[in-house]
């Protein structure tokens, strides 16, 4: 594209969204505290683990007081919020460590996994979608579509087990899990790269069908539209028609999809991380939830909410860029 990007409009939209995010995040954290309060899980039992099964009531009561979980909901939320604003995210009861440390050492690995998988899904989904959309009903279309529908129904953990069985066990080509070789302590680039392949592939594949089906539909529809038929009639070559006209409008629905897939990506990552012993944030999230670990749960929820809001913003920005008629109203 030769014309410059509408930076001003984009920045204004980003600013408006950021402002709107503040009450959303506040409400979400309060809701987390309220839902956790109402949940039947007992944070003291969760903290004590199996030791709690033989602990005396006195011991458990003391723990309850130490952990501060016997105080009213609003007090705890307010304390958490005010200290979070000063940068202190509190201590995670279930991990026995400061929340910032727990998130800090895990978040990067989750982001790496999710981003790799996401990029792969988008790239592969677009490519296959264009190929299939160009000639709907053709061989490629029928083959890829039926695989995509099957994958849509396949749970990520099942794909994970399948991938381990095939690539690690039958072929012995890729490691079955972990961030590095199990026996190695140092995290090197090529180790991580090798270990990233399978989980990212599985997570990416599980997201692929949506992108593929959207692009296929979009490209197919666009090829039937008047402008494309006009372009063809003017004698433009097929690749030009495809990239210049069909792809541009055909990609629009996919851009909104990118944002709306973020929550799915987060839940998918959760299962994939478990299957591949990937040391990301997912396992911590499950543990925080079932242990009613307020500080950790609240921080993770803020993160997830922020990711979803960012995803939406990103897709709206892209949509605005791709189709100037939509603009950046927000």
Note the residues at the interface with other proteins (CB under 8 A): 40-42, 45, 47-60, 62-63, 66-67, 91-98, 102, 105-106, 161, 164-165, 168-169, 172-173, 175-179, 181-183, 185, 273-275, 277-280, 283-284
Residue burial 197-232, b: 16+ Cβ < 10 Å; e: rest: ebbbbbbbbbbbbbbbbbbbbbbbbbbeeeebeebe
Q: How far is the C-alpha of 281 from the C-alpha of 141, rounded, in Å? A: 37
Of residues 147 and 303, the one with the C-beta less far from other proteins: 303
Burial of 79 (0-12, 13-18, 19+ CB in 10 A): middle
Considering beta carbons, is residue 106 or 216 the nearer one to other proteins?
A: 106
- For 36, phi then psi, to 5°, come to -60, -40
39 vs 260, which CB is nearer to other proteins?
39
The residue among 89 and 251 lying less far from other proteins, judged by its C-beta, is 89
306 near 228, Cβ under 8 Å? no
Smaller CB distance to other proteins: residue 124 or 174? Answer: 174
* Cα–Cα distance for residue pair 288/277, rounded to 1 Å: 17
Classify residue 50 by its DSSP letter. G
Give the nearest distance from C-beta 57 to other proteins in angstroms. Answer: 5
Q: What is the DSSP letter of 169?
A: I
User: How near is the Cβ of 189 to other proteins at its closest, in Å?
Assistant: 16
> Which CA distances in Å does 87 have to 22, 90, 100, 228?
16, 9, 9, 54
Instruction: Give the shortest CB-174-to-other proteins separation in angstroms.
Output: 9
Alpha carbon distance 213, 125 (integer Å)? 8
Q: How far is the CB of 4 from other proteins (least distance, A)?
A: 45
**What is the closest distance, in whole angstroms, from the C-beta atom of residue 130 to other proteins in the complex?**
36
Q: How far is the CB of 111 from other proteins (least distance, A)?
A: 15
- Name which of 105 and 238 has its Cβ closer to other proteins: 105
Q: Whose structure tokens read 């028609």?
A: 241
Number of other CB atoms surrounding residue 323 within 10 Å: 14
Nearer to other proteins by C-beta: 214 or 276?
Answer: 276
282 burial level (CB within 10 Å; 0-12, 13-18, 19+): buried
Please, what is the minimum distance in Å from the beta carbon of residue 119 to other proteins? Answer: 24
CB distance 215 to 131 below 8 Å: no
């Amino acid at each position: 594209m030769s014309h410059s990007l509408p930076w001003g409009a984009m920045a204004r939209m980003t600013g408006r969204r950021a402002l709107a995010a503040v009450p959303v995040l506040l409400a979400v954290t309060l809701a987390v505290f309220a839902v956790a309060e109402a949940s039947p899980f007992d944070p003291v039992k969760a903290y004590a683990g199996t030791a709690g099964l033989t602990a005396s009531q006195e011991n458990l009561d003391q723990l309850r007081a130490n952990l501060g979980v016997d105080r009213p909901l609003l007090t705890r939320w307010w304390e958490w919020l005010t200290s979070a604003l000063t940068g202190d995210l509190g201590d995670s009861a279930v991990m026995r460590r400061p929340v910032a440390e727990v998130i800090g050492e895990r978040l990067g690995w989750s982001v790496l996994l999710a981003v790799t998988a996401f990029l792969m899904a988008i790239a592969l989904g677009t490519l296959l979608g264009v190929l299939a959309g160009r000639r709907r009903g053709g061989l490629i279309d029928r083959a890829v579509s039926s695989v995509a529908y099957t994958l849509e129904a396949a749970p990520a953990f099942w794909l994970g087990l399948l991938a381990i069985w095939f690539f690690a066990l039958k072929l012995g080509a890729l490691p079955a899990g972990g961030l590095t070789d199990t026996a190695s302590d140092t995290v090197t680039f090529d180790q991580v790269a090798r270990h990233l392949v399978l989980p990212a592939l599985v997570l990416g594949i599980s997201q692929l069908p949506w992108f593929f089906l959207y692009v296929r539909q979009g490209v197919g529809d666009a090829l039937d539209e008047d402008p494309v038929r006009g372009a063809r009639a003017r004698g433009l070559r097929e690749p030009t028609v495809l990239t210049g006209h069909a792809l541009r409008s055909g990609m629009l629905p996919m851009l909104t999809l990118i944002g709306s897939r973020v929550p799915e990506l987060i839940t998918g990552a959760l299962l994939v991380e478990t299957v591949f012993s990937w040391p990301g944030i997912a396992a911590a999230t499950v543990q925080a939830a079932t242990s009613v670990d307020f500080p950790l749960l609240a921080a993770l929820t803020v993160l997830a909410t922020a990711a979803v809001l960012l995803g939406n913003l990103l897709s709206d920005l892209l949509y605005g860029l791709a189709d100037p008629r939509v603009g950046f109203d927000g």
